[in-house]
């Protein structure tokens, strides 16, 4: 049997190129070689206290977008986290293998609690994330770099659980990162591309004019005489490597090395290639959204594949605990 792999994404609104390059692109590639479990982390999204109608819409839109990007529900299990109650069940169990001190070290809690308030769900979020991973015995978790701290904590929590029960009941996961694991904010390349940084993203649903505006505003060189790429320029080259053909990459690399690169030309190329990449995805996305019944069925089928595996892990964990 193939090796297992798991990853999740929150339904918090339109995806951006950071989500795609840091995570989803690899999800698509890996689904053929792994027994893959991909879920829409709707229980996690509750930590942002979304309006119920927004959450409902974002869940189904994200499902359509994942399929439009190439996640094949026949090749993997694609499901809503809240359709598999074992996630929260194992989350409760693992609360007893994590300490306040460990959770206090999580930088995302510090950032997000300023925005959403100091809710307990936001604080214990990494424990639920540990459960998400442990449920599927997944050794590998394809994520962007901002999730590495959570995965390291997941390893500690699982180790603590296993040591408490005196057996290797749960599997310790490792993050799987690509070269694009950290896509930076276009307008502030010292921060990661994120919806919470205004002007930082290119959304997967952006039209060519919006893509153009975002790229034209992208920060390039702070020191024009520098021979190293500034973070903003390196970020544009990262996009070029992902969306343009290799000849173009060589062309602009050559110009950069010679010191003759015109950023306006590089940006024009990116505007053209990124818009061309997005157009067919947006078309597929819109047509998928017209048939919500099929989307619901995809999610139900995904949950049906996930539940037996999750159920086995819970039984094993409960037995080991004396329950
Ligand atoms: P989320 O929903 O914030 O992001 C989804 C994925 O996108 C990646 N990502 C990025 N990668 C590169 N550059 C960026 N600028 C960028 N922004 C986002 C994230 O690293 C992530 O892989 N806690 C998770 C969801 C989750 C999960 C899990 C992931 C819940 N349970 C279990 C893996 C395993 C989150 O909030 O991701």
Which CATH number does the domain housing residue 59 bear?
Answer: 3.40.50.620
221: region left, alpha or beta (phi > 0 left; psi from -120 to 50 alpha): beta
Looking at the fold, whether 88 and 230 belong to one and the same domain comes out as: no
Per-residue confidence (pLDDT) for residue 154, from 0 to 100: 98
Looking at the fold, whether 116 and 161 belong to one and the same domain comes out as: yes
| 314 φ/ψ angles, rounded to the nearest 5 degrees | -60, -45
Looking at the fold, whether 213 and 177 belong to one and the same domain comes out as: no
Looking at the fold, whether 266 and 138 belong to one and the same domain comes out as: no
Q: What CATH number is associated with residue 239?
A: 1.10.240.10
Rounded to two decimals, the pTM is: 0.96
Classify the C-alpha dihedral 64-70-72-75 as positive or negative. negative
Q: How many domains does the chain have?
A: 2
- Rounded mean pLDDT, 264-276: 97
To the query of whether residue 25 is one of the catalytic residues in this protein, the response is: no
94: region left, alpha or beta (phi > 0 left; psi from -120 to 50 alpha): alpha
CB 9 within 8 A of CB 41: yes
Looking at the fold, whether 24 and 172 belong to one and the same domain comes out as: yes
Q: 278-287, pLDDT tens digit by residue? A: 999 999 999 9
Per-residue confidence (pLDDT) for residue 139, from 0 to 100: 86
To the query of whether residue 305 is one of the catalytic residues in this protein, the response is: no
pLDDT at 2 over 80: no
Ranges 51-60, 145-154, 216-225: which has the least confidence = 216-225
Per-residue confidence (pLDDT) for residue 1, from 0 to 100: 53
Give the active site residue among 56, 74, 191, 195: 195
Per-residue confidence (pLDDT) for residue 225, from 0 to 100: 67
Mutational test site, ligand 1, from 4, 5, 6, 8, max ligand atoms within 8 Å of CB: 8
Give the active site residue among 3, 51, 56, 112: 112
Say how many Å lie between the CA of residue 41 and the centre of ligand 1: 10
Looking at the fold, whether 193 and 134 belong to one and the same domain comes out as: no
Structural domain boundaries enclosing 206: 184-286
Confidence grade of residue 179 (pLDDT, cut at 50, 70, 90): confident
Looking at the fold, whether 157 and 242 belong to one and the same domain comes out as: no
Confidence grade of residue 227 (pLDDT, cut at 50, 70, 90): confident
To the query of whether residue 195 is one of the catalytic residues in this protein, the response is: yes
Looking at the fold, whether 175 and 225 belong to one and the same domain comes out as: no
Q: 124-174, pLDDT tens digit by residue? A: 999 999 999 999 999 899 999 999 999 999 999 999 999 999 999 999 999
Q: Which residues contact 282 (CB under 8 A, 6 or more apart)?
A: 68, 204, 205
Looking at the fold, whether 150 and 228 belong to one and the same domain comes out as: no
Looking at the fold, whether 176 and 28 belong to one and the same domain comes out as: yes
Looking at the fold, whether 150 and 242 belong to one and the same domain comes out as: no
Query: What secondary structure letter does DSSP report for 171?
Result: P
Measured from CB, residues less than 6 Å from any atom of ligand 1 are 6-10, 18-19, 22-23, 41, 44, 129, 132-133, 141, 143-144, 146-147, 181-183, 192-194
Say how many Å lie between the CA of residue 7 and the centre of ligand 1: 8
Say how many Å lie between the CA of residue 234 and the centre of ligand 1: 22
Q: Which residues contact 100 (CB under 8 A, 6 or more apart)?
A: none
Per-residue confidence (pLDDT) for residue 222, from 0 to 100: 65
Radius of gyration of the chain (CA): 21
Looking at the fold, whether 118 and 261 belong to one and the same domain comes out as: no
Confidence grade of residue 198 (pLDDT, cut at 50, 70, 90): confident
The atom number, within ligand 1, closest to the CA of 19 reads 7
The atom number, within ligand 1, closest to the CA of 147 reads 20
């Amino acid at each position: 049997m193939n090796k297992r792999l798991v990853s999740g994404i929150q339904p918090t609104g339109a995806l951006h190129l950071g989500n795609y390059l840091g995570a989803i692109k690899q999800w698509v590639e890996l689904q053929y070689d792994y027994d893959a479990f991909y879920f829409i982390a709707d229980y996690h999204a509750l930590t942002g206290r979304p309006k119920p109608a927004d959450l409902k819409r974002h869940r189904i839109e994200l499902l359509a977008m994942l399929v439009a990007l190439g996640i094949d529900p026949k090749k993997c299990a694609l499901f809503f986290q809240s359709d598999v109650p074992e996630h929260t069940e194992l989350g409760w169990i693992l609360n007893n293998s994590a300490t306040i001190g460990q959770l206090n070290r999580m930088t995302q809690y510090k950032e997000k609690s300023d925005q959403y308030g100091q809710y307990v769900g936001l604080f214990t979020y990494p424990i639920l994330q540990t459960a998400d991973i442990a449920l599927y015995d997944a050794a590998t978790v394809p994520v962007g770099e901002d999730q590495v701290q959570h995965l390291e904590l997941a390893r500690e929590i699982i180790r603590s659980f296993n040591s408490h029960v005196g057996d290797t009941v749960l599997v310790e996961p490792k993050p799987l990162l690509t070269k694009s694991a950290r896509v930076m904010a276009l307008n502030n390349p010292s921060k990661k591309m994120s919806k919470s940084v205004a002007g930082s993203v290119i959304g997967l649903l952006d039209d060519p004019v919006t893509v153009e505006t975002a790229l034209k505003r992208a920060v390039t060189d702070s020191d024009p005489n520098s021979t190293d790429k500034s973070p903003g320029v390196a970020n544009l080259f990262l996009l070029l490597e992902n969306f343009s053909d290799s000849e173009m990459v060589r062309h602009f690399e050559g110009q950069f090395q010679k010191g003759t690169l015109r950023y306006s030309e590089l940006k024009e190329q990116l505007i053209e290639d990124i818009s061309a990449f997005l157009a067919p995805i947006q078309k597929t996305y819109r047509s998928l959204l017209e048939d919500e019944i099929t989307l619901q069925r995809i999610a139900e089928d995904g949950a049906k594949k996930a539940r037996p595996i999750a159920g086995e892990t819970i039984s094993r964990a409960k037995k080991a605990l004396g329950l």
